Every structure is written in C-alpha cells, then in structure tokens.
Structure 1
C-alpha cells in the first residue's frame, strides 16, 4: 500500500471537497465535519461521476408521517439518478449489496494523503 499526498489541510476546509487523480483513478476527497474521506468517483449504477453530485443529509428512520432529517454533509447523491452513498464508508443507503469504493485517508504534518492498495 502506498500513501499519495494530495492536498494540504488548508486547501480543503470543512464542508468542501475536490476531485483528485491518483494512479489513473478519479477520487473524491471530502472534509466532513473536520474528518477526511475519499471515495471512487464512479457511480456503480450507470457510471456517472458520483462526486459531482450534491453532498447532503438524508431522512432518518421515523414514525409514520414524521420526517426526521439528519446526517448532514455525510451523504453524496449521484447527479444522474439520485443514488445515495455514505461518504464515510462508501455503502449505499438503499442496499447492503451496493457500494462505492472508499479509500483510507491519513493526515501527517498538515498534508492529506490517500492510501491506495496495489
């Protein structure tokens, strides 16, 4: 496994993201409430650039006729068909079988690095 330095912490303020290229992979790098996460920029549904979709929250489990909104800044929604994925894990919100690849992120000496396995 190799760590690829991709940005400094000052370049990615809380609530922002950027799309980076690492080893011919397009990856979305996100700052979610001060924590950094990286996911593959490819929706498994039909190949859209997933990381160009909005970062948002979602409705949480609730009673009938009750709508509770939560997980603000933790969900990315595909710009083509609205499939939603957890930025922290890459898991979809609608099926345990569908996910997008996530990558470990490390911060050392003010530099954000993405870990890519060979």
Structure 2
C-alpha cells in the first residue's frame, strides 16, 4: 500500500473534515475525537457526493420529548436521501450488505496520509 499525503494536521481540526482527490478518487477525511478516518465520497444509492452531507450521531432510547444522542460526529448522512454511514468503518446503519469504501489513515510528522492499494 502506498501512502498519499492529503493535508497537514492543523488543516483538519477536531470535528471537521476535508474532501481531497487522490489518484482520481474523491475521498472525505474526518477528524473524529482526534482520530482521522477516510471514506469514499460516493453514496452507493444514487451516486451523491456523500461527504457533502451532514455529520451527526444516532438517537438513543430516551424519555418523551427528550433526545439523547450517541456516536456523536461518527455518522455521515447522504445529502440526497439520508442514507447513513459509519465514518470509522464505512458500514451503513441500515444494512449489513451496504457500505462505502473506507481507507486507512496514518498521521506522522504533522501530515495526514491516506493508504491506497496499488
């Protein structure tokens, strides 16, 4: 696997993301709690730019009129139809058979690098 530098650490602060191009692939890079994750910027449903969607969490069981959230800032929601994907794994929240490609991320010497297979 080859590592491709995509950004300096300070360019993707905690809680933010950046869309980058690597070898013709559009990839969203996310900083979740100080750990970086990368997923393909393509929704498998109808091809929307997935990483243009909001980053959110899930709702947990709670009392009436009370909303309790879990997995805060770990989920990306497709801007077209609301399909949700785990930023850490690329897995969908609604089916074991649907996912987006995720990429390994390495941080060293202040640089965020994405690993792509050859």
Using structure 1 for the length normalisation, give the TM-score: 0.94
| Counterparts of 1:113 and 1:42, CA distance in 2 | 20
Shift of 1:82: 0.1
Question: What secondary structure does 1:51 align onto?
Answer: helix
- State the match for 1:9 in structure 2: 9
| Counterparts of 1:88 and 1:105, CA distance in 2 | 11
Alignment CA distance shift 1:46-1:110 (3 Å): same
- State the match for 2:47 in structure 1: 47
Shift of 1:64: 9.0
Shift of 1:59: 1.5
5+ residue gaps in structure 1?
none
Shift of 1:11: 0.8
- State the match for 1:92 in structure 2: 92
Aligned residue runs from structure 1 range 1-118, under 5 A: 1-60=1-60, 62=61, 68-118=68-118
Using structure 2 for the length normalisation, give the TM-score: 0.94
Shift of 1:68: 3.5
Q: Paired residues, what number?
A: 117
Give CA-to-partner distance per residue, 1:70-116, whole Å, 9 cap, x none: 11100000000000000000000000000000000000111100000
5+ residue gaps in structure 2?
none
